[in-house]
Amino acid sequence: MTATTDQRPRHVTVNGRRVRHRVDGDGPPVVLLHGIGRSLRDFTEQHELLARGFRVHSVDLPGYGGSLPMTEPYTLPALGRFVGHYLDAVGVDQPAHLVGNSLGGAVAMRFAATEPARVASLALVNSAGFGQEVSVALRLLTLRPFGRLLLRPNRAVARRAERALFHDPAFATKERIAYALEVARQPYAARVMLETVRSLGTFRGVRPQWREELLTEVARLDVPTLIVWGDRDLILPAGQLDAARARLPRARTHLFANCGHLPQIERAEEFHRLLVDFWAAAEAGDLADDGAPQRPAVTGAG
C-alpha cells in the first residue's frame, strides 16, 4: 500500500467510553462502519486503498471489536448518535462519506436522517434496512434463552459463521476465524450482540417498524447514495437490492456476481474503484437523478 497507513488501530474516548479506531490518509473524510458481530477489520482492504486519497476512519461500534459497550440500550438511534459523537471526538467538522456494511449501513442511514448536513454521501453495502428476511442464525438469536447458548465461544461455530459471509471459502481464513473467536470471548460480547439483534428483529425477521420509518426519512434526503450487494449473500438476500431500488430510486446500484455478504473484501479492488468513481461523480454532479429506478450493474468474478 502506501506510507500513509500504519495499520495500528488506536483508541479514542467517545462519551466517556474507550473506542477503537484506525485513522490514516489525507483528504475528504471517510467513515467505515462494520456489521453486527463484526469489527473494523472488515474494512482493512478498503481502509488502506482509500487512504491514498482520503482521511479514512475505520471504527469499532460500541461493544464490538476493541470498543467498550455503550451504557444505553442498543437501539439503532443510539448507534446513529454514536457516529455523531465519534465525529465530534476526532474533530471531523466537514461532511463525511459514510460507508456502512450490513448493520453499519442502517447505522449510516440513521445518522444521515438525523444529521444530513454532516453526510457527504452514503455507500450502503449489503445493508440492513431494506427487507425482513435475514439468516436463520440471526433469527435464532432472538429466542430466549436459546440465543445466549448459541453465542458460547466455539471454534466450529466461529468457522461456520465466518464461512457464511463469503461465497469463496478461501476468504474464511484461519486468521479471520481465530479473531472472530477472540472477539466472541470478550465478557460483554454476547450481551451486546443479543441486545442489538433483539432491538432490530424477532424470530420472524427484521422488524418492519424501524425499517419503514428509516427508509421514509432517507428517501427525503438530498444525499448521493450508492447501494451495492453480493448476489450470493447468505445473511441478507440479494433480492433486497430490488427493495432498495424501489425505496431509494435516485440511488446508484451495483450487484457483484458470485460474491457474498462482504464485497468490500471479496471484491476489494473493484469495490474501491466503484466507490471512488461514485464519489467523483457525486462531486461533479453527474449522478443519475431522473427519479427512475436504475438497473443494477452486475460484475462477475473475472
The Cα–Cα gap between 221 and 244 comes to: 15
Residue 2 binned pLDDT confidence (cut-offs 50, 70, 90): very low
Q: Is 15 helix (H, G, I), strand (E, B) or coil?
A: coil
Amino acid letter at 126?
N
| Number of separate domains in the chain | 1
The Cα–Cα gap between 166 and 121 comes to: 26
Question: What are the start-end ranges of the E strands in the chain?
Answer: 10-14, 17-24, 29-33, 55-59, 96-101, 119-125, 201-202, 205-206, 225-230, 252-256, 297-299
Residue 295 has pLDDT above 80, yes or no: no
Residue 6 has pLDDT above 70, yes or no: no
For 30-44, 146-160, 182-196, 230-244, which range has the lowest pLDDT when averaged over its residues? 146-160
- CATH assignment of the domain containing 104: 3.40.50.1820
Residue 293 binned pLDDT confidence (cut-offs 50, 70, 90): very low
The Cα–Cα gap between 297 and 92 comes to: 33
For 225-283, write each residue's pLDDT tens digit: 999 999 999 999 999 999 999 999 999 999 999 999 999 999 999 999 999 999 999 98
As given in the structure block, the three cell numbers for residue 191 are 450481551
Residue 299 binned pLDDT confidence (cut-offs 50, 70, 90): low
User: Residue 297: its pLDDT value, please?
Assistant: 52
Amino acid letter at 236?
L
Q: Name the DSSP letter for residue 152.
A: S
User: Residue 80: its pLDDT value, please?
Assistant: 98
User: Residue 148: its pLDDT value, please?
Assistant: 81
User: Residue 14: its pLDDT value, please?
Assistant: 97
The Cα–Cα gap between 129 and 217 comes to: 12
- On whether residue 3 sits in a domain, the answer given is no
Q: Is 140 helix (H, G, I), strand (E, B) or coil?
A: helix
- On whether residue 27 sits in a domain, the answer given is yes
- On whether residue 146 sits in a domain, the answer given is no
- On whether residue 100 sits in a domain, the answer given is yes
- On whether residue 36 sits in a domain, the answer given is yes
Stretch 218-229: mean pLDDT: 97
For 108-146, write each residue's pLDDT tens digit: 999 999 999 999 999 999 999 999 999 998 999 999 887
- On whether residue 120 sits in a domain, the answer given is yes
- On whether residue 82 sits in a domain, the answer given is yes
Expressed as residue numbers, the domain containing 246 is 10-132+207-299
Residue 302 binned pLDDT confidence (cut-offs 50, 70, 90): very low
For residue 25, how far is the Cα from the chain centroid?
21
- On whether residue 147 sits in a domain, the answer given is no
Stretch 158-179: mean pLDDT: 96
The Cα–Cα gap between 218 and 294 comes to: 18
The Cα–Cα gap between 22 and 57 comes to: 6
The total of other beta-carbon atoms located within 10 Å of residue 63's CB is 20
User: Residue 291: its pLDDT value, please?
Assistant: 34
The total of other beta-carbon atoms located within 10 Å of residue 16's CB is 7
Q: Is 106 helix (H, G, I), strand (E, B) or coil?
A: helix
Residue 7 has pLDDT above 70, yes or no: no
**pLDDT averaged over every residue in the chain:** 92
Place of cell 473506542: 19
> Is residue 167 within 8 Å of residue 266, measured between CB atoms?
yes
Q: What backbone phi and psi angles, to 5 degrees, belong to 167? A: -75, -40
